[in-house]
Amino acid sequence: MPRTVRDVVFVDGVRTPFGKAGPKGIYNGTRADDLVVKAIRELLRRNPDLDPKKIDEVAIAATTQIGDQGLTLGRTAGILAGLPQSVPGYSIDRMCAGALTAVTAVAGGVAFGAYDVALAGGVEHMGRHPMGEGVDPNPRFVSEKLVDESALFMGMTAENLHDRYPTITKLRADEYAVRSQEKAAKAYADGKIQQDLVPISVRNTNEAAGETGWGLVTTDEPMRPGTTLENLANLKTPFRTHGRVTAGNAAGLNDGATAAIIASEDFARENNLPVKMRLVSYSFAGVEPEVMGYGPIPATEKALAQAGLSIEDIGLFEINEAFAVQVLAFLEHYGIADDDARVNQYGGAIAFGHPLASSGVRLMTQLARQFEEQPHVRYGLTTMCVGFGMGATVIWENPNFNAEGDSK
């Protein structure tokens, strides 16, 4: 019997504040799986009409699936969060697009009818598990020239992207980074970010600095408000001598977790759950691994074609800022100005941080807030580049859209 594809909606999303990775970071003494558990519990607290017994799946992403990020994290985090043992779960790895892929994977199940409601998210504790820990890349990649050796180092791929777009100078990248910091600081000042943050109790273990005891994390640690072009001008370019990529115009090494509720629209409305965004289309695309940051461009082209839309139909963009050059390449390709008001209105990963597999849901929660505030916007997209040469894009429709207004 043929099935009818169902409308899929983003019900709600939360995240922990993001921290700096390393022994001095806020989450140095906190387990990765506990960060996911906190996010799941907060989702349930915020949505008391969702009966946990009705949750059909828990999909949690992590790039480095070992230690406290291993052991089928979707299943174990669900149990630790107090979900009934009848609720299954699994883990996902698509590097930076892990949480985004968790959302699209369960969304496919919802559309098909296998699920009514599912949880999806991601975590990365780069302080405990640096990117690439424990991996053993096949020597054929380099010996047979399947990829350029620079593909194994994300910063070098960003330098390669600068080469491909010579008009994207270090100055443009630094100017973009300053705007990201300014927009993030304004979003905090206006109370736009705190609404979706989960306060996290942490134990400070930096005994050498005399800092011990318990504390409550309520804000993102990586932000550098007040950053100026002068601050960024003389930063080292660690990936290439006289290069263009610095710690100031790229996301750092970070810790954090995200989680979201994805459901059929009928289920959400029948169970008195909010409908914050409606899924329109999604797509993934591969590119040369050595220019990984180019990936959002073909992924977006595919997603737009699936939806029957053009880039002019998109009224809001949430683009992950792994590197400033990666965002600027996307904007340049589509003829969008570097400072276009539709792009990353609250700032991005250069300010907030980018804990790899968790970041996709951060993009979604920020877009959902913007949809709520801007009913004249009908469509928005979330997009990101992905390690080893991929891109990922999801297009969303604003359920608050006012048909009498301008849809752009």
- Residue positions annotated with a catalytic role: 96, 354, 385
Considering only CA atoms, which of 146, 148, 102, 154 is closest in space to residue 123? 102
- The bridge status of strand 19-20 relative to strand 254-264 is antiparallel
Contact 362, 332 (CB under 8 A): no
For residues 389 and 287, the answer to whether their CB atoms sit within 8 Å is yes
Q: What are the beta bridge partners of residue 197?
A: 15
Contact 282, 104 (CB under 8 A): yes
Instruction: Return the closest-CA partner of residue 262 out of 380, 99, 94.
Output: 99
Whether residue 107 contacts residue 282, with contact meaning beta carbons closer than 8 Å, is answered with yes
Residue 232: both structure tokens together = 């960024």
Residue 61 CA, chain-centre distance (Å), reads 11
CB 62 within 8 A of CB 98: yes
Residue 21: name the closest of 131, 175, 99 by CA. Answer: 131
Residues in the chain: 408
Report the candidate in 302, 76, 321, 87 with the shortest Cα–Cα distance to residue 223.
321
Residue in the structure block whose two tokens are 């949430």: 318
**In the structure, how many helices (H) and strands (E) does the chain have?**
12, 12
Is the alpha carbon torsion for 190, 268, 124, 133 positive or negative? negative
